[in-house]
Amino acid sequence: MPEGDYIQRQEKRGSRILESLIVVNILGFTIILLLSFINGMFFNMISLIIMIVLSMLIYYGGNIAKWVYITVNILNIFSMLYVLTAGIITSNATLFPILLNTVTMLMQVISLVTSIVLIFSGSVKEFMYKQKN
């Protein structure tokens, strides 16, 4: 098998993986953004918008965006672990508070998976390299 075919398959596989993760991330962050907005919680709007923009930049091969995304997610995970161990998972939301908390925790898991894939997936690295160049 020629090496060019292998690299093309890796890039295509990386594209599919990254597209899936980015779509899920953007949808999840958008749902959190909308639920927060509905409940008059504006304190996290900027950070959610930044995460959406970072997700889009990652798709276009942004290496700096990738590492900023990973760093922010690591900090968010530590924050969520603290909240879980302190037992203070409450929301100021008046409409759909359980849904907002559930989606937020689900997004933490999705963000963790996305970060792991961004760090370790050779296919995604190949695709991002191609996108950048």
pLDDT grade for 54, boundaries at 50, 70 and 90: very high
Q: What share of the chain is helix, strand, coil (3-state, %, to 5)?
A: 85, 0, 15
pTM over 0.85: no
Say what the pLDDT of residue 90 is.
60
Q: What is the maximal distance between C-alpha atoms in the chain?
A: 59
Identify which has the larger pLDDT, 31 or 87: 31
Q: How far is CA 59 from the centre of its chain?
A: 11
Q: What is the pLDDT of residues 79-123, one digit of tens each?
A: 878 777 776 656 666 777 788 888 888 988 999 999 999 999 999
Average pLDDT on 37-51 reads 83
Query: 59-88 burial, b if ≥16 CB within 10 A, otherwise e?
Result: bebbeebbebbbebbeebeeebeeeeeeee
Q: What is the mean pLDDT of the chain?
A: 86
Identify which has the larger pLDDT, 84 or 20: 20
Say what the pLDDT of residue 15 is.
93
- Both tokens of 28, joined, read 């999840």
**Could you give the C-alpha distances from 14 to 93, 119, 129, in angstroms and in order?**
38, 12, 10
| Residue of 25, 67, 76, 71 lying closest to 49 (CA atoms) | 25
pLDDT grade for 43, boundaries at 50, 70 and 90: confident
Say what the pLDDT of residue 97 is.
78
Q: What is the Cα–Cα distance from 122 to 81, expressed in whole angstroms?
A: 29
Q: What is the Cα–Cα distance from 65 to 54, expressed in whole angstroms?
A: 6
Q: What is the Cα–Cα distance from 19 to 24, expressed in whole angstroms?
A: 9
